Amino acid sequence: MGIPERWRGHIPLPEGIKGSLEELTPIFEQEGVILAYLFGSLAKTGEVGEREPHDVDLALLTEGKPAWKLWDEISLALGTERLDIADLRRASPVLLFEIIRSGRLIYSSDDAARERFVLDVLHLYRDTAPLRRRQRAALKRRMDRWCEESR
């Protein structure tokens, strides 16, 4: 299922959704969010109406409760159910790297924690690079073998 099919029948993202992100600050403060990043299509394209973003992608680093438990509150504040939340404690190294590379930091309760987080992600991404290369090589071998067998 592609992104457009996933949201077919749902109400489109409201105009001014990026402005609504500022309304999340009190929720983040109350719920112990340390870092919040906007990533995905809305972070890359800008406001609704340009290249149409399909949903709001947020990545959260929290003190206690899992990030997904904030979905209801955040969805209500944004006025949309078209919301995906990634937990920065559980995300893959590739997703973490993509978030800090192309995402937008929208909240930080602790600058030192943010700097530590970014450095940890960069180290983790670098340290797992050999594993990704091996995985890519194994996939290429399987695909080559499959292509040879299907001739």
Q: What is the pLDDT of residues 7-61, one digit of tens each?
A: 455 556 667 776 788 889 999 999 999 999 999 888 876 554 445 667 899 999 9
The enclosing domain of 22 has a CATH number of 3.30.460.10
Could you tell me which residues are beta bridge partners of residue 59?
Answer: 37, 86
Query: Does 6 fall in a domain?
Result: no
Write down the pLDDT at residue 6.
Answer: 53
Q: Could you tell me if residue 118 is inside a domain?
A: yes
The sheet with strand 33-39 has its strands ordered as: 83-87, 56-62, 33-39, 104-108
Q: What domain range is 67 assigned to?
A: 15-148
4 assigned to some structural domain = no
Domain annotation covers residue 142: yes
Count of structural domains, the chain = 1
In a domain, 9, yes or no: no
Structure confidence by residue, pLDDT tens digits, 92-134: 999 999 999 999 999 999 999 999 999 999 999 999 999 999 9
Contacts of 70 (CB under 8 A, 6+ apart): 27, 31, 33, 60, 62, 85
pTM of the predicted model as reported, rounded to 2 decimal places: 0.79
